[in-house]
């Protein structure tokens, strides 16, 4: 195997901002009579479409349905681009802190003495060497591993062929841990490849999987029954377990038609052409595609409810001799950065950049 398999090791240098401002940002919002997630997003973030950011950050309180708000609910609102201001429990708003820079350097045989984590690019906003910090989840993983401080050290490698990650790189312990990966519901889908072969970390980030539909021919999604007989699109190689979970079996029972072109852009081209009824993607990839393809006037998000809620994880092959110890390391570091506030600062910083683009 060539040295290039070990990709590039990330070396980080943080550049910190300067003066802290007296204003607070983020905090706790109490749901009022007449509120909806879009109303709260409009009043607090000045952008009604950011209801998804509030929903995703409060899944444990709200649940899957965005309509499940109740007067008196306490919602946690992150600090995104300096908003919202003046809420209880807000933190002092500091000048922007730049994400760590990424320096690409050749891998060496010495890295085999370390815990080696594997990722790839072209998965904005989560992982890409061109993004600040290598992407939101690259920065989370780096912070968690720095906090855990394993005695042997660690390295993060880029191999820009996602198809080679699970097989053969991780299955043969050529590298140790991979990220970010979705986890099927292994309690009811135990026979899936990932459930049979991999252990998963605690979720690093949870997000909404949404339906994107044609404004000229909108598709309702008040319940699963609305999807029966429809044509959905999701690129080839993307997960489909949310379409075939135990309470759906949309694919297994032929209840829907799924188009699977090679690229996200092709799905949206098919949608605008009337060849599919909706595109099913996580909100960040979908929103980015709408912007990139200049489709804001033609495509809209179905806001009634998400298609599913999925977490992104670090995984390790079950055959790895140190699988449990390595999962304990990443989980311990992740828990600690959530408790000390580092995790939320990373999320808020990246969300500010992401939503500025949207």
Higher pLDDT, 17 or 227: 227
Distance (Å, whole) CA 201 – CA 328: 8
Tokens of 235: 């690129």
CA 104 to chain centre: 24
- Tens of pLDDT, residue by residue over 40-97, are 999 999 998 888 889 988 988 998 888 889 999 999 999 988 899 999 998 886 543 4
Question: How far apart, in whole angstroms, are the C-alpha atoms of residue 212 and residue 6?
Answer: 37
Tell me: do 298 and 215 sit in the same domain: yes
How buried is 66 (Cβ within 10 angstroms: 0-12 exposed, 13-18 middle, 19+ buried)?
A: buried
Tens digit of each residue's pLDDT (9 = 90 or more) over 1-54: 333 333 433 332 332 233 333 488 999 999 999 899 989 999 999 998 888 889
Residues 210 and 290 in one domain: yes
- Structural domain includes residue 234: yes
Q: Are strands 103-106 and 91-94 parallel, antiparallel or unpaired?
A: unpaired
Residue 158 to residue 215: CA distance in whole angstroms: 39
Residue 132 belongs to a domain with what CATH number? 3.40.190
Total structural domains in the chain?
Answer: 3
Q: What is the domain extent for residue 114? A: 3-15+105-176+320-340
In a domain, 223, yes or no: yes
């Amino acid at each position: 195997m060539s040295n290039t398999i070990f990709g590039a090791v990330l070396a980080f240098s943080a550049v910190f901002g300067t003066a802290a401002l007296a204003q607070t940002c983020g905090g706790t919002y109490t749901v009022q009579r007449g509120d909806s997630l879009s109303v709260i997003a409009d009043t607090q973030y000045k952008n009604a479409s950011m209801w998804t950011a509030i929903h995703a950050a409060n899944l444990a309180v709200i649940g899957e349905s965005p309509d499940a708000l109740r007067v008196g609910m306490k919602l946690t609102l992150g600090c995104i681009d300096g908003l919202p201001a003046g809420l209880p429990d807000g933190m002092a708003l500091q000048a922007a802190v730049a994400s760590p820079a990424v320096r690409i350097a050749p891998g060496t045989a010495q890295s085999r003495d370390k815990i080696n984590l594997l990722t790839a690019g072209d998965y904005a906003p989560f992982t890409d060497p061109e993004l600040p910090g290598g992407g939101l989840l690259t920065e989370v993983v780096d912070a968690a591993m720095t906090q855990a401080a394993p005695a042997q050290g660690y390295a993060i490698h880029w191999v820009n062929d996602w198809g080679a990650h699970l097989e053969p790189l991780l299955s043969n312990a050529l590298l140790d841990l991979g990220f970010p990966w979705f986890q099927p519901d292994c309690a009811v889908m135990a026979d899936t490849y990932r459930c049979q072969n991999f252990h998963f970390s605690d979720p690093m980030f949870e997000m909404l999987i949404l339906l994107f539909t044609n404004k000229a021919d909108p598709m309702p999604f008040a319940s699963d029954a609305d999807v029966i007989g429809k044509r959905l699109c999701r690129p080839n190689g993307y997960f489909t377990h949310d379409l075939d979970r135990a309470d759906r079996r949309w694919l297994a029972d032929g209840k829907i038609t799924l188009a699977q072109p090679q690229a996200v852009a092709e799905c949206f081209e098919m949608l605008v052409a009337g060849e599919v009824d909706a595109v099913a993607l996580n909100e960040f990839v979908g929103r980015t595609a709408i912007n990139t393809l200049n489709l804001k006037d033609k495509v809209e998000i179905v806001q009634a409810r998400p298609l599913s809620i999925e977490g992104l994880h670090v995984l390790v092959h079950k055959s790895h001799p140190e699988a449990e110890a390595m999962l304990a390391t990443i989980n311990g570091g992740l828990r600690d950065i959530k408790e000390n506030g580092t995790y939320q600062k990373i999320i808020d910083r990246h969300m500010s950049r992401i939503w500025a683009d949207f």
